[in-house]
Structure 1
């Protein structure tokens, strides 16, 4: 069953986007049947008429808000009818935030931005378990949110950071490093090393960081971390 998807689009343009998308999906059919093309235009107009009631009159969506609309349909070429499957309709609305509501916060941020860009990241670590060959795996967290994983091997008065990866506040991979404990706990030594992310880590895209995270998690058969859903951009 075909699915009509608007992608992310300004509310002011959702009707045109849906119309263009349907005609693109049915290009072969409407090319060989001009009467069908007229009927497709009619049924898309009916869809848009119904959506106008929902978006504009009921949800009070404004023109510069962003929407994403998805609905399945069936095409009957013989009778030249599109049957919209209304029970499959999905609508997402992203409201525009007026600039005056965040201008003051933005001004304060601009003054702090240079320092924030190089500020030490405050991670914590929580032990997950130990592998068969003695490596220790720790979850890396910001507050209570899990953002990565680190694999270490304690050896006398040092700890070998074998591999680590994080996805917040930036996506990065830590390569192998030896860390002297100097009287610190293993956890404190590892956290201090991780806090230097902006200086010593290799900065990568999200997919590469998650690949490393899942490889380490796999050593203890922990379920893989899923890649964050990417925003589908309007064409």
Structure 2
């Protein structure tokens, strides 16, 4: 009878390992989210695995032309200031569209894309989707909308080996993002979904039409206060 507690004590560390791993992950993830609330993320997994190198130049949202954030909202997430990280309507629409075939459409919000770009990898899968949802909830709670937009516009891929709106502006238009016009900001936003296949200079076909549509929506975003959470 006296030996049973000893056997139990030998097994207990193995039982606790999964809890320790989960607890360690949660603690580390929260620490990183809190740190990046104040410090620019130095590098992302997408950047590290980019064979084309890394060109980036951080610019605060205060210094960036408001046309860029409005273009991102117009092109990527019209309800950015209204949702808490997820747009159920957009997700449902994307699922119905993809089920019917044709060009694959995503339903991710800017918050979800920021969580993926900063903390995770690009390929899909249930594991990544689950972690993306977890980090989305964290950054919505800790960062707030303005910081989410600021980080998004600085880490999103805007061209081959180019990251952030400022680096994209200098690559395409030879001036920084503080001087982006509506048309220029709209063209960068049109590149975001497929940055390795689209260019913001003299765009043609779908990219040109999409950029023009975003440029027309920018005044609507401003007029209807869809960027109020950034002010």
Q: TM-score normalised to the size of structure 1?
A: 0.24
Where relative contact order (Cα < 8 A, 6+ residues apart) is larger, the structure is: 2
In terms of fraction of residues, the more strand-rich structure is: 1
In terms of fraction of residues, the more helix-rich structure is: 2
Q: TM-score normalised to the size of structure 2?
A: 0.25
Larger Rg: 1
